[in-house]
Structure 1
Amino acid sequence: MTIIREEDLIQSIADAFQYISYYHPLDYIQALGEAYEREESPAAKDAIAQILTNSRMAAEGHRPICQDTGIAVVFLKVGMNVQWDARMSVQEMINEGVRRAYNSPDNMLRASVLLDPAGKRQNSKDNTPAVVHYEIVPGDDVEVICAAKGGGSENKSKMVMLNPSDSIVDWVIKTVPTMGAGWCPPGILGIGIGGTPEKAMLLAKESLMEPVNIHELREKAASGAKLSRVEELRLELMDKVNALGIGAQGLGGLTTVLDVKIMDYPTHAASLPVAMIPNCAATRHVHFHLDGSGPAHLPTPRLEDWPQVTWKADTNVATRVNLDTLTKEEVASWKPGQILLLNGKMRTGRDAAHTRIADMLEKGEKLPVDFTNRVIYFVGPVDPVRDEVVGPAGPTTATRMDKFTRMMLEKTGLISMIGKSERGPVAIEAIKDN
């Protein structure tokens, strides 16, 4: 019988969420490096170079890969011969580990979990509670997978109840373009097939925890070995999704996904549940075992294992923009695909800020910030630590601000917006009109 101590699980969880906040899985990074070498689109190649450069900087500085440090997801397989030396429940131990990780003074992580989701939506301040999935299995240890899933990719999750005669491939290829680029490709698609609706979703999520190994499957197919139907689906979907040309960060290109993962489960004769969940470019998960000998040991990856790709701004083709003297006429002169190098002060804000602005304008109140001829960046940065001026700060999905776009352009003096992914028809119409 193995005894797992309370503190060992708590510390292992805390270490794991810190670890994945700044270390990409090497299989993902190496696959992305290969995609960089293959890429023919200058914009997509540039985007991949930025992701790889950011990844190395995060690994070197032990600061988050992405400012959306995710909701904590934990998969547990508990051996039937395990006994707990603990006062807390397993959920409470995991929550305590998440709490320690997200409040670490050396690498503060952004707490994104809101309590009372249909009501006050109050931040829990420590990213708890975690979402925990349990399985009781034969054995003498505890297998743990920790993942941090950002909202941009989670929000693009899809689920459908197909007829048994329907094509899974057709549904995926029809659905992926509707996800836009807010899930931050290149990433991984997780697909769950069968069971019941909730089982299919869980299968899709769990499949994302597996390593990037589509290249091994290609080698198996090339050798003439017989493939299972799931393996055939993985290869077919990989090729057809990438043929859509969505590309890195939605900029067009050869690589939208680095792998397609599929898990299936027996289902009702009348049913074909299919779920699809993407993993974004901030692919964050780690796998370890607890055997009673102490906390998990997570190996430090070697920086030399990162692809030798470094991004630099191409100042020969970029247009320099002074945000402090920007005019409507200058904004109107910009063309799609143009590269801008920004200098000066920008405003920042996202959902909550825009809601407050709308409330104040409706009440006839004066805004505390002047937006006249200014730019707003849709961002929610991680808190700074040590001598940082600002913590890691990347763009959030611009689509969530679509309903506020006309108000901002017509009532505040704002003249430009910075964010990621596509804009919807409501925002596009407001931009055209202004």
Structure 2
Amino acid sequence: MTVTIKESDLIESIADAVQFISYYHPADFIRHLASAYEREQSPAAKDAMAQILTNSRMCAEGHRPICQDTGIVNIFLKIGMDVRLESGQDLQEICDEGVRRGYLNADNPLRASVLQDPLFTRRNTRDNTPCIVSVELVQGNTIDVQVAAKGGGSENKATMAMLNPSDSIVDWVLKTVPLMGAGWCPPGMLGIGVGGTAEKAVLMAKQSLMEDLDMADLLARGPSNPTEELRVELYEKVNALGIGAQGLGGLTTVLDVKIKSFPTHAASKPVAMIPNCAATRHVHFTLDGSGPAELERPSLSDWPDVHWAPDYKASRPVNLDTLTPEEVASWKPGETLLLSGKMLTGRDAAHKRIQDMLAKGEQLPVDFTNRVIYYVGPVDPVGDEVMGPAGPTTSTRMDKFTETMLGETGLIAMIGKAERGPVAIESIRKHKSAYLMAVGGAAYLVAKAIQKAKVVAFEDLGMEAIYEFDVVDMPVTVAVDATGSSVHQTGPQEWSMRIADISMKKA
């Protein structure tokens, strides 16, 4: 029987879904993260997970984004061949309108991150459209819809390879995951697609991330087929790498591993891997012609009783307004700091403009002398908020600018997420600077430390403008100290050895 589904129902459902996933983690993700938190033995990783869990509950209660990077929207549609879609627009236009309404919602405006031209102007579309639409025609008279928001930090770690038929998937994954660093904000999950062709493998990897996390159940009952056996093997071996939450070293790097496969050419073995970060966001619904989807809200009882708060006894207070190079040089790797005072913000576009201005001998609009810069593109505030969710962005994108910033502007420290590369670390060591790490996936929690905020330069860059934040007790970890020692190197090394020792004792 043919069923008519209205264009307006699909648009409204997508708009609602975009809002829904911005502040609700899937319940299965929370359960697996809560279990990992209970098991974790690394103090740094456990603290990071506590911040992520606390942030998640705050967002569920306050209906504000889990992460400042509210992602690029992926929409997967399975359209029944007995469906008549009542519309005067293309399917892409319908989906874009749903995304547009969701992102421009006045009660919870989401950060616009999509650029119209990836090659030249890179102009922001201001409404996060267009979205990425994937369509399958299937038997039936319904439209099955999955909506996901994928942050740039995890999407940038997507990897694809054409292996030889005899090559080991396990070996490739274990070689590739350490190269991903921590910019994808672990703990999360890995989606793996194997077979088909290059583009099919990548699509399957992305689609696998839409599946519910069930690793806890799988470990409890044991694998029942070769694919489940491979999932368990990869889960255990990836976690044995000791990368841990935020790359700080620990027992849990992945909460689950998903695998989808498809027949392939005899000479080929396409494989793709895409991680989902600590801001895993997706929802599934079905339209049957009876109206827009009704999304079931999770219960707050799904969240564990974890409420992160600053540890004043174990943390060093830092006054940013009186900070000196000598004080920066005294910070130790892994030390927790609570920052108070005025900091500047800036990320890719601002750094590029600063570099160009310095090359031309132009005066900068901001004095960076003895200042700290925070790599962030915040969400706009609503109501009485000073600033919307404002978590850190991946710091390695600023590595190419580090020598310029430290050598020519007077900057003395930087804040971001994940590791720094060798070029940046050498510059930090050379200038006796420091790199501090905030927790990716705790954006709303971090924003609560911001007491005042104003744009001080490059307003035309939107969320990439330079702000001045006045913060109180903003939590950070010393990730690279003035000697160039990096906790993203020492932490995983230490915990991979500890995990190996634990495994030997169990055996």
Same fold at TM > 0.5 = yes
2:173 is matched with 172
Which AA in structure 1 matches 2:368? F
2:160 is matched with 159
1:289 is matched with 286
Deviation at 1:220, TM superposition (A): 3.0
Question: Which residues of 2 match residues 212-251 of structure 1 at below 5 A?
Answer: 212-221=213-222, 227-251=224-248
Counterpart CA distance in 2 for 1:381 and 1:146 is: 23
Deviation at 1:352, TM superposition (A): 0.4
Residue 324 of structure 1 aligns to a residue whose secondary structure is: helix
Residue 216 of structure 2 aligns to a residue whose secondary structure is: helix
Which AA in structure 1 matches 2:294? H
Asked if the contact 2:153–2:184 (Cα under 8 Å) also holds between the matched residues in 1, the reply is yes
2:115 is matched with 114
Deviation at 1:90, TM superposition (A): 1.3
Question: Which residues of 2 match residues 9-408 of structure 1 at below 5 A?
Answer: 9-221=10-222, 227-408=224-405
Which AA in structure 1 matches 2:347? R
Deviation at 1:300, TM superposition (A): 1.5
Deviation at 1:345, TM superposition (A): 0.4
Structure 2 unaligned residues grouped into runs of 5+: 432-507
Residue 115 of structure 1 aligns to a residue whose secondary structure is: coil
Counterpart CA distance in 2 for 1:348 and 1:378 is: 6
Which AA in structure 1 matches 2:69? D
Q: What percentage of residue pairs aligned between the two structures are identical?
A: 70
Deviation at 1:432, TM superposition (A): 1.0
Provide the alpha-carbon RMSD of the alignment.
0.7
Normalising by the residue count of structure 2, what TM-score does the alignment of the two structures yield?
0.84
Counterpart CA distance in 2 for 1:315 and 1:246 is: 27
Aligned length: 430
Counterpart CA distance in 1 for 2:271 and 2:390 is: 34
4+ residue runs over 6 A deviation: none
1:409 is matched with 406
Asked if the contact 2:4–2:83 (Cα under 8 Å) also holds between the matched residues in 1, the reply is yes
Deviations 1:214-263, CA, capped at 9 Å, x for gaps: 12222332xxxx73221111000000000000001111111100000000
Residue 146 of structure 2 aligns to a residue whose secondary structure is: strand
Deviations 1:374-418, CA, capped at 9 Å, x for gaps: 000000000111111111000000000001000000110000000
2:444 is matched with none
Counterpart CA distance in 2 for 1:253 and 1:72 is: 31
Counterpart CA distance in 1 for 2:217 and 2:324 is: 53
Counterpart CA distance in 1 for 2:156 and 2:253 is: 17
Counterpart CA distance in 1 for 2:344 and 2:291 is: 47
Asked if the contact 2:239–2:253 (Cα under 8 Å) also holds between the matched residues in 1, the reply is yes
Counterpart CA distance in 1 for 2:103 and 2:380 is: 11
Asked if the contact 2:32–2:216 (Cα under 8 Å) also holds between the matched residues in 1, the reply is no
Which AA in structure 1 matches 2:397? R
Deviations 1:349-393, CA, capped at 9 Å, x for gaps: 000000110111111111111100000000000011111111100
Counterpart CA distance in 2 for 1:90 and 1:15 is: 18
Structure 1 unaligned residues grouped into runs of 5+: none
Counterpart CA distance in 1 for 2:153 and 2:278 is: 10
Counterpart CA distance in 2 for 1:228 and 1:263 is: 13
Which AA in structure 2 matches 1:261? K
Deviation at 1:272, TM superposition (A): 0.5
